[in-house]
Amino acid sequence: MKNLNRNFKKIKKDPYMLFGLIITGIILLMIIVGLFWMPYEPTKMSASEKLQGISFKHIMGTDNMGRDVFSRVMYGSRVTLLIAIGTVTIGAVLGTAIGALTGYFGGVFDEVIMRVIDALFAFPSILLALVIVSVFGTGWVQLLMSLGIAFIPSFARIVRGEVLRCRNMDYVASAKLQGVSDVRMIFVHILPNIKGVMASSILIGFNNAVLAEAGLSYLGVGSQPPYASLGKMLSDAQQYMFTTPSYCLCPGVVIVLMVLGFSFLGEGLRRWE
C-alpha cells in the first residue's frame, strides 16, 4: 500500500506520466467500450447517408459508403492496438533473447549475430516490413509478423547493451562464484535488473508500432476490407479531406493521441529510472 501511494504521488508530480496515463486511458476506454457496444455496425452501409458531417446521429460523421465513422474508429483502434501489441511482443521476446545471449556470451557468436542485426537495423522498419509483406502477401496476420520481425533488431541492440553493462557487475561475479548456471544468470539475475529500460523500450515500441501499422495500412498492405484500421481509414478518406474533413480528421486525431500517450508514458518511465 505504501508503494502504491508513493507511486501515485510520483505520477502526480510527473507531467509526462500523468498526461500519458490520461491519454492512453481514454483510448483504452474507447476500445474496451467498443468490445461490448457500438452505435452502429462498423460495416453497415447506407446509400442515403454518405459523407455526412458531424451530427447528433453520427458524432464523427459518415464515410463515402455511409458507414458511421465513430463506430469504425472504435473498431479500427482495436485492430491497430492489437497489431501493435503483437508486433511489440514478437520483437521484444525474440530481440531480448538474441540480445541477452549475444551480450552475455560475446565472442564470435556475438560478432556474427550482431553483424546480421546491424544489417537489418540499417533498414527503416517500415521498409523492411514492406519487403517481408511483398514476399508473404497482404493482410493483418502478414503485417503483424513482418512488423514483429522488423522490430527485433532494435530490442536486440538495447538488451545487448544493458547485458554488457551488467555482466561485469559485482552481483554477477558473486552469482558465478556460487555456481549459478548461465541460463539462470541471464533470466533470473541480469534481465530483472534491466526491467526499467525494457519497460521504457516497450512503450516506445508501441509508439513506433502504431505509426508503422497506420503507415502500412495507409499504403494498402495492412488490414484489408471489410476490416477497419486507422491507417486504412485515412487512406480511404484522403480524397474527401476538403469536402468532409471529419472523415479524415477523426482517425488521424486518434492515431496522434495513441502515439502521444505511449510517448509520454515511455518518457515518464525513462525519467523514473
What single string gives the DSSP state of each residue in 121-144?
A: HTS-HHHHHHHHHHHH-SSHHHHH
The whole-number pLDDT of residue 119 equals 77
- For residue 5, with 0-12 CB atoms within 10 Å meaning exposed, 13-18 middle and 19 or more buried, which class applies? exposed
Taking each continuous run of H as one helix and of E as one strand, the counts in the chain are 11, 0
68 beta partners = 62
Asked if 67 contacts 48 with a C-beta cutoff of 8 angstroms, the reply is: no
Q: Is 239 inside a domain boundary?
A: yes
Is residue 119 within 8 Å of 55, Cβ to Cβ? no
Residues β-bridged to residue 62: 68
Determine the pLDDT at residue 84.
Answer: 87
Which among 221, 229, 219 has a CA at the least distance from the CA of 138? 221
Dist. CA 214–CA 218, nearest whole Å: 6
* Residues 6+ away with beta carbon under 8 Å from 260: 19, 20, 23
**Does residue 175 fall inside a structural domain?**
yes
Q: Are 232 and 213 in contact (CB under 8 A)?
A: no
pLDDT, mean of each 10-residue run, the chain (273 residues): 52 73 88 87 80 82 84 87 88 88 81 80 72 71 80 86 81 75 79 80 84 79 71 82 82 87 76 59
Output the furthest CA–CA distance in the chain (Å, rounded).
77
Number of domains in the chain: 1
pLDDT number for residue 12: 61
Domain that holds residue 133: 73-260
Residue at 212 is within a domain? yes
Residue 46 lies inside a defined structural domain of this protein: no
Is-contact 213 84, C-beta < 8 A? yes
- In the prediction, which pLDDT does 226 show? 65
Phi-psi region of 107 (alpha: psi -120 to 50; beta: other; left: phi over 0): left
The CATH code of the domain that includes 167 is 1.10.3720.10
- Give me the pLDDT at residue 45, please: 81
Residue 136 lies in a domain: yes
User: What pLDDT, on the 0 to 100 scale, is given for residue 256?
Assistant: 87
How confident is the model at residue 258, as a pLDDT?
Answer: 87
Name residue, grid cell 544489417.
Answer: 119
pLDDT of residue 4: 46
Examine residue 178 and state whether it is found in any structural domain, yes or no. yes
In sequence order, which ranges of 14-124 are alpha helices (DSSP H)? 15-36, 69-105, 107-121
Collapsed DSSP state (helix, strand, coil) of residue 222: coil
Residue 173 inside a domain? The answer is: yes
Does residue 114 lie in a domain region? yes
